Homo-oligomer: A and B are copies of this chain.
Amino acid sequence: MTRFAFTVEFDGRPFMGWQRQAHGPSVQQAIEDAIASVTSEAVAVHAAGRTDAGVHGIAMRAHADIAKEIAPFRLMEALNARLRPDPVAILACEAVADDWHARFSCTGRSYVYRIVNRRAPLTWENGLAWRVIQPLDAAAMHGAAQVLVGLHDFTTFRSVHCQSASPVKTLDRLSVEREGDRVSIHAAARSFLHHQVRSMVGCLAMVGMGRWSADDLRAALEARDRAALALNAPPDGLYFVRATYPGES
């Protein structure tokens, strides 16, 4: 039995999310089915994060235990061949220690949220970014975002379906950059609550539109009440970027 770690890119548009669902396709199922096709083994694939329907992965990390003797490179090539035409690709595959766990060993997660700030509808980016029509002040968004950085009770920014034991998390980074009509929001933390990034982005958009001040954002945070949330941004613009592990650079 070998534990294999995978780096996975996926387009979230056709999926109900990462996690296997009875009622529709998932990234987890696509990979598990591909492994079964290659090894004839029914294995469980564990990921660093369970993304929602419509959320994308740039470099999701995952692992599975496989009995068949196969080299990591050959496994990667075989899985990519089997995954077609699903928009899921194994970017890297390596054998890891038996106690390496994609979720529980992970010490840092980062996301990027992509906004296209213009009136015109999206073309090839439809479903891959959030189009915001109102002009956004990215500098104001970045300034207000710093209110959320640090150790806080993020109940306001947490889905009612969140299963996390505690709403208290440390947000390491929340930065906003503009390049032309593109506004990118980068978020990093050891872990996030369910819907936390999308909820923070929704409130930052309110700041960018001039409808909320940084003080309004602080008041929403301190309310510790989901009802204080301005807006939950759509999944379209959200990408799981990176998971970090001890001993990795």
User: Among B10, B90, B123, which residue has its beta carbon within 8 angstroms of that of A10?
Assistant: B123
- What 1/0 flags go to A26-39 for Cβ under 8 Å of B? 00000000000000
> Does A1 count as interface, using CB distance less than 8 angstroms?
no
In the bound complex, what is the Cα–Cα distance between A122 and B91 (angstroms)? 10
Which residues of chain B come closer than 8 Å to A123, judged between CB atoms? 9-11, 87-89
In the bound complex, what is the Cα–Cα distance between A139 and B59 (angstroms)? 26
> Does A214 count as interface, using CB distance less than 8 angstroms?
no
In the bound complex, what is the Cα–Cα distance between A197 and B156 (angstroms)? 52
> Does A80 count as interface, using CB distance less than 8 angstroms?
yes
In the bound complex, what is the Cα–Cα distance between A120 and B88 (angstroms)? 9
A91 touches B77 (CB 8 A): no
- What 1/0 flags go to A80-96 for Cβ under 8 Å of B? 10011001111100000
Whose C-beta in chain B lies nearest to the C-beta of A86?
B123
Which residues of chain B come closer than 8 Å to A87, judged between CB atoms? 123-124, 126
A80 touches B124 (CB 8 A): no
CB distance from A129 to the nearest CB of B (A): 11
CB distance from A159 to the nearest CB of B (A): 25
CB distance from A243 to the nearest CB of B (A): 17
Chain A positions 106-161 with a Cβ under 8 Å from a chain B Cβ? 118-124, 126, 128
A124 touches B56 (CB 8 A): yes
B124 touches A128 (CB 8 A): yes
In the bound complex, what is the Cα–Cα distance between A90 and B119 (angstroms)? 9
In the bound complex, what is the Cα–Cα distance between A119 and B89 (angstroms)? 10
CB distance from A135 to the nearest CB of B (A): 15
A77 touches B9 (CB 8 A): no
B89 touches A124 (CB 8 A): no
Which residues of chain B come closer than 8 Å to A11, judged between CB atoms? 123-124
Residues of A within 8 A of B (CB): 9-11, 13, 56, 76-77, 80, 83-84, 87-91, 118-124, 126, 128
A-B contacts, 11 of them at CB < 8 A, read A11-B123, A13-B124, A77-B119, A80-B119, A80-B120, A84-B121, A87-B123, A89-B122, A89-B123, A90-B120, A91-B118
| Other contacts beyond A9-B120, A80-B120, A90-B120: 6, CB < 8 A | A76-B120, A77-B119, A87-B123, A87-B126, A89-B121, A89-B123
10 A-B pairs with least C-beta separation:
A11-B124, A87-B123, A89-B120, A11-B123, A91-B120, A89-B121, A9-B123, A89-B123, A10-B123, A80-B121
